[in-house]
Each structure stands twice: as structure tokens, then as C-alpha cells.
């Protein structure tokens, strides 16, 4: 049984259809990527799955529980890292996690152990008694990931977990995230703008304007835009093309002094090519389609991360405005 | 059920930690009643004739305690709006706890913080020449607790209707300030013209301050309480229940 099942899910806000009759399934223990441009309906779908919104029509269930009718069972099973930070900045890292463990009814004798483990896991143990407002963006995200696994959820939702982070923090965060299914036996449901990040997914669904337009493994999706291409330079191209056709039964052509060969699994093909042509080979280059190519083909536009919005800054200034008001 | 109680605990503990940690907030919220008591009250004392039974500064003392509770309860509760906007509320809403426990937790945290501040103001009584017995102090504390709960619940109810900080000054100018002026804090309710006196009668703070007046000045004088104490307490408790119930209902409703 799939751990997440969505059937003909539709959500309208007034006359805007944010999510338009989408269906998909996510298998237990996998990483599922939900990709799409801004405003495609990703966050709306997550909000329905985590019981914050009720759909206009259709079904959504998590581990067999209905997201609308059995919302408290669903909430117990899931952990979420939202797009916007939901930590309390005035509290320490430890307090944020401690309060979370209360909300999810973590047994008293396990609280400290689980919190320490989670903090160690994301490398923030040394900073546990600092208030969150002193943390950098990347540290806050890591802390949110740590918090989301305290209650040992079966499914973890990550909505744009790396949005607005610098490349180093992004890499750092993915190290933790990609380890989660192995270490904690969770299923991950994530959205991201960064196509290279989606490569770690077992399955991907692409959503555009509220509709699901493709789903499958990253490799399946890439096949939609054609397979790999191997570029080859040899001492004698005409001879080499002959040999390739004869021995490997592949179609090879010469172009600009290079031989190019379209194959489905380029990486597996290269050793065979080298075996066949031996020391006649001068250079080999493999070009694979990227998820970005897939995306471009399906939606007609390249997916781009939002220019890191002034949103956070704005919110900070609102905060200080509020403080002034409080005191006034 | 267990996690609902935990939720109440988390919300109260969070508010309390912040209250203790943010000294600036404590000082600033105490500044307002002190300014009113000593600058407005002190100045007006020279204008209002003392043959009304007591100096003006003493007359407004219960009102100033009520004011402390009003502002601190409403501020504590409408922090829900900031939590909605800045995310922490989402952490609460996706947790496996009932909406009702979030409302109760928030109301109780407002109660704790407001009562503490009211107590600090209360202990200024010797400075303005009042004499209070231990029993009076405990009775005032009791009224402060139920009044804080009532006004915190009202604050939550207000907060459920707003999504953004822009509403802040609207709430201040059109709800909180009028509630304060139309509560009998600064002048006796019975001296007001008919229209205004109607508004004071639908204001829960009026009954809270009336009850406080009853505790601070047990003997009936021209400037003391206007309603029977039992009515005061009944109004506070019944309106609290109504506010909490409506707020929980609004909270429960999904978009």
C-alpha cells in the first residue's frame, strides 16, 4: 500500500484553480520530488496533505488515514519543514525542540535523548542553548529538519527546504536530508526549485498550473527528452563508425570531426566502446539530459529559483516595527 | 488528551519564558500604567475636588490595574497574529493537538503574564496613600485572574479575524483605547451621558474595574462601585466562556 495516496485532488480559491484534479502515489521509504514553477500548486498540495487546508474535491490519504476526516491521526504521522521558517526565534534551539516534543507527546524519558540525537545529527549540538535569532539561515533550516524528526514521523514534508540558502548550506543540508530515509526509515515528500537537488528522488511528479504533467523516476523522465549522447574522437573516425555499427549494433554518425552516438545508458556503453576501439580512442565525452531539459520540454520554461525574496527582510522590519509598537 | 494538556503547557511556558527574557517588554508595558497613574492622575488630582470622598489618584487606582490587565492581555493574545504571519502558529496547527487547547493555552498564558503585571502595579498602593489588608490583596488578585482570562480570550477572538500586522493600529485605536475610556477607569460610569453609558455597559472591562473598585474601596462612596459584585463576576465569567467558545469555533474552521 502506498504511504501517500492522492486521487483527483482539486482545490479552488474563488475562481482560481490552484490544484486541478491531480493523482499520485508515494511508496514507503522513498524520496518523492514534487516539482513545478512558482504558483504551480505545490504548497497548496502540501497544505492539504498536512491537514491545513481542506480540498474542494478529491481524496488524499496518508498511511491509510484520510487527510480531512482523520486529521489528528495524519498529524501524528507527519513532520514538516515549511517554506517559511516556523521556529520561535526568541527561544533557544533546545527549547524549540523541547516544546515540539511536548506537542507530539514524546515520552518523558526519551525527550532529552531524541533532542540530543537530532541536534547532533544536524551538527547544532554545541549551539543548543543559543536563541534561534542568532542562527544563520542554513542553521535555522537544519534546526527545522532536526525538529521535524523528533517525533519520528513516517513522512517528512520538505517544502523548498533550501530556498534562499547559499550553495554551501544547500549541500550541507542535503547531506542530512538524503541520509534520513536510511537512518530514520522515513518517506520524504519534497518540493524544490533546484533541478540538481531533485536527482536524489526515487520518483518525481511535475506540476504546472495546477495540473500534473508527468511523473516517473528521474531516468524515466529524462528518456522523454531522448537518451544520453556519447561524443567520441578517434584516430580514424570512418573506421571507428564501421566497427561500432558492426560490433555494438549502435547507430553512429560523424559531425564536426566527432562521432556521436545516441544510447539509452551512456555510462554502461562507454566501457564497451573502449573495448571495441581500444587505443584508437582519443577522447570520450558523455552528455546526459538533465531534469532541467525535461522541465523545459514539458512546461516550455526553465525552472528558476525565486530571486531570494525581500520577504524575510520585510518580515524582520515588521518585527522591529511591532516591537516599537509594543513598547509605545 | 495528554498532548492537549502538553499543548496548553507549551503555550504558557513559551509566553512565560519570553516574558522573563524580554525585560524591555516588561518595562515598557509597566510604563503605560505608571504614566497614567502619576502624570494624568497626579495632575487631575489638583482639579478634582477632594470632597468627592477620595483623592483622584486613589479613585483611578483600580482603573489603572484594569488598564494594565487590558493592554497586557490584548497584546499577549494578538501575538497570535504575528505567530500566524511569522510561522510559529503553523507549527502549532500541524501538531496533533486540538484547536481548543491552543485557544485555552493562549488565554492562560495571557492570564499569567497580565496577572503578574497587575500585581506589580498593585504593590504601588502605599505610594498613593491607600491601605489594603492581606485579604483585600488576595481578592484583588482573584479578580485580576478572571479579568485577565476574560480579556485574553477577547484578544484571541479579535486575533482570529486578522491575518496581518497592519490591523494592529486599528485594534489599538478602535477597540483597546475606547474600551479603556469607556470602562469607568477614569470617571464614574454613572456620570456619563446616556449613549456612552450604554457602551460602558457592554464592555466587560467595566465590570472588571467595578469589581476591583469594590475590593479596593469596600465602603460605598460617591466614587466607588456602580454594580453589585455578583453581577460583575457573572459578566466576567460568562463573557469569558463566550469569547473562548467563539474563538475555538473560528479557529477550528479550515479554509
**Contacting A residues, span 308-327, partner chain B, CB-CB under 8 Å:** 315, 318-319, 321-323, 325-327
Provide the shortest C-alpha distance from residue A123 to chain B (in Å).
22
Query: ipTM, 2 decimals?
Result: 0.84
pLDDT interval class at A313 (50, 70, 90): very low
Helix (H) or strand (E) holding B147: helix B134-160
pLDDT interval class at A61 (50, 70, 90): very high
Query: For residue B114, which of B79, B84, B88 has the smallest C-alpha distance?
Result: B79
pLDDT of the residue at A320? 53
pLDDT interval class at B2 (50, 70, 90): confident
Provide the shortest C-alpha distance from residue B166 to chain A (in Å).
10
With an 8 Å Cβ cutoff, is A54 touching chain B? yes
Lowest mean pLDDT among A5-9, A300-304, B51-55, B80-84: A300-304
pLDDT of the residue at A285? 86
A125-146 confidence digits (pLDDT tens): 999 999 999 999 889 989 999 9
CA atoms of B26 and B20, how far apart (whole Å)? 8
Contact in structure between B213 and B224 (CB atoms under 8 Å): yes
pLDDT of the residue at A36? 85
Quote the cell numbers at residue A223.
528518456
Label the pairing between strands A203-208 and A16-26. Answer: unpaired
pLDDT of the residue at A129? 94
With an 8 Å Cβ cutoff, is B24 touching chain A? yes
- Distance between start and end Cα atoms, chain B: 25
Mean pLDDT, range A183-191, rounded to an integer: 87
Are B92 and A95 in contact (CB < 8 Å)? no
**Contacting A residues, span 78-107, partner chain B, CB-CB under 8 Å:** 78, 80, 82, 84-88, 90-91, 95, 99-100, 102-105
The count of CB pairs under 8 A between chains A and B is 94
With an 8 Å Cβ cutoff, is A278 touching chain B? no
pLDDT of the residue at B151? 96
Contact in structure between A18 and A10 (CB atoms under 8 Å): no
Domains and their CATH numbers in chain A = 4-222 (3.40.50.300), 227-288 (3.30.70.260)
Residues of chain B in contact with residue A87, where contact means CB-CB under 8 angstroms, are 87-88, 91
Lowest mean pLDDT among A129-133, A308-312, B81-85: A308-312
With an 8 Å Cβ cutoff, is B193 touching chain A? no
Higher pLDDT, A175 or B207: B207
Provide the residue count of chain A.
328
Which of A99, A130, A320 best tests the B interface by mutation, with the highest count of B CBs <10 A?
A99
B174-201 confidence digits (pLDDT tens): 999 999 999 988 888 888 888 888 889 9
Amino acid at each position: 500500500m502506498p504511504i501517500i495516496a492522492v486521487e483527483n485532488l482539486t482545490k479552488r480559491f474563488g475562481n482560481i484553480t490552484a490544484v486541478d484534479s491531480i493523482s499520485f502515489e508515494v511508496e514507503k521509504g522513498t524520496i518523492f520530488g514534487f516539482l513545478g514553477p512558482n504558483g504551480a500548486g505545490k504548497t497548496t498540495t502540501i497544505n492539504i496533505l498536512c491537514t491545513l487546508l481542506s480540498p474542494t474535491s478529491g481524496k488524499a490519504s496518508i498511511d491509510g488515514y484520510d487527510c480531512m476526516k482523520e486529521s489528528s491521526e495524519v498529524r501524528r504521522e507527519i513532520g514538516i519543514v515549511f517554506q517559511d521558517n516556523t521556529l520561535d526565534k526568541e527561544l533557544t534551539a533546545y527549547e524549540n525542540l523541547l516544546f515540539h516534543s511536548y506537542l507530539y507527546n514524546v515520552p518523558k524519558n526519551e525527550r532529552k535523548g531524541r533532542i540530543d540525537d537530532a541536534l547532533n545529527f544536524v551538527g547544532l549540538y554545541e549551539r543548543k542553548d543559543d536563541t534561534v535569532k542568532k542562527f544563520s539561515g542554513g542553521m535555522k533550516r537544519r534546526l527545522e529538519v532536526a525538529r521535524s524528526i523528533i517525533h519520528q514521523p513516517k513522512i517528512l514534508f520538505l517544502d523548498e527546504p533550501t530556498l534562499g540558502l547559499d550553495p554551501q548550506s544547500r549541500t550541507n543540508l542535503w547531506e542530512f536530508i538524503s541520509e534520513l530515509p536510511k537512518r530514520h526509515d522515513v518517506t520524504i515528500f519534497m518540493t524544490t526549485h533546484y533541478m540538481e537537488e531533485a536527482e536524489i528522488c526515487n520518483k518525481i511528479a511535475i506540476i504546472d498550473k495546477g495540473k500534473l504533467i508527468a511523473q516517473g523516476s528521474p531516468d524515466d523522465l529524462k528518456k522523454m527528452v531522448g537518451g544520453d549522447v556519447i561524443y567520441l574522437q578517434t584516430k580514424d573516425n570512418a573506421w571507428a563508425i564501421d566497427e561500432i555499427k558492426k560490433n555494438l549494433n549502435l547507430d553512429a554518425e560523424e559531425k564536426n570531426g566527432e562521432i556521436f552516438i545516441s544510447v539509452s545508458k551512456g555510462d554502461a556503453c562507454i566501457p564497451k566502446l573502449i573495448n571495441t576501439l581500444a587505443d584508437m580512442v582519443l577522447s570520450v565525452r558523455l552528455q546526459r539530459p538533465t531534469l532541467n531539459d525535461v522541465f523545459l520540454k514539458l512546461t516550455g520554461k526553465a525552472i528558476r529559483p525565486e530571486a531570494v525574496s525581500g520577504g524575510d527582510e520585510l518580515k524582520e522590519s515588521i518585527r522591529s516595527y511591532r516591537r516599537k509598537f509594543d513598547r509605545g | 488528551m495528554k498532548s492537549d494538556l502538553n499543548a496548553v503547557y507549551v503555550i504558557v511556558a513559551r509566553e512565560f519564558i519570553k516574558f522573563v527574557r524580554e525585560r524591555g517588554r516588561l518595562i515598557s508595558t509597566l510604563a503605560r500604567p505608571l504614566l497614567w497613574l502619576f502624570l494624568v492622575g497626579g495632575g487631575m488630582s489638583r482639579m478634582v475636588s477632594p470632597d468627592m470622598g477620595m483623592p483622584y489618584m486613589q479613585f483611578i487606582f483600580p482603573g489603572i490595574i484594569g488598564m494594565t490587565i487590558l493592554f497586557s492581555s490584548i497584546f499577549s493574545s494578538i501575538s497570535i497574529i504575528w505567530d500566524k504571519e511569522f510561522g510559529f502558529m503553523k507549527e502549532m496547527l500541524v501538531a496533533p493537538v486540538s484547536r481548543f487547547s491552543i485557544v485555552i493555552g493562549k488565554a492562560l498564558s495571557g492570564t499569567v503574564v497580565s496577572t503578574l503585571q497587575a500585581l506589580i502595579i498593585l504593590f504601588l498602593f502605599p505610594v498613593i496613600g491607600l491601605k489594603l489588608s492581606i485579604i483585600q490583596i488576595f481578592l484583588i488578585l482573584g479578580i485580576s485572574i478572571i479579568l485577565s482570562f476574560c480579556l485574553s480570550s477577547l484578544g484571541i477572538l479579535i486575533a482570529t479575524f486578522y491575518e496581518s500586522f497592519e490591523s494592529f493600529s486599528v485594534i489599538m485605536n478602535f477597540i483597546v483605547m475606547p474600551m479603556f475610556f469607556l470602562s469607568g477607569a477614569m470617571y464614574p460610569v454613572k456620570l456619563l451621558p446616556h449613549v456612552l453609558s450604554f457602551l460602558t455597559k457592554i464592555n466587560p472591562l467595566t465590570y472588571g474595574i467595578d469589581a476591583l473598585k469594590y475590593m479596593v474601596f469596600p465602603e460605598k462612596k460617591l466614587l466607588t462601585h456602580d454594580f453589585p459584585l455578583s453581577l460583575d463576576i457573572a459578566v466576567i465569567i460568562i463573557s469569558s466562556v463566550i469569547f473562548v467558545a467563539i474563538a475555538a469555533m473560528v479557529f477550528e474552521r479550515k479554509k
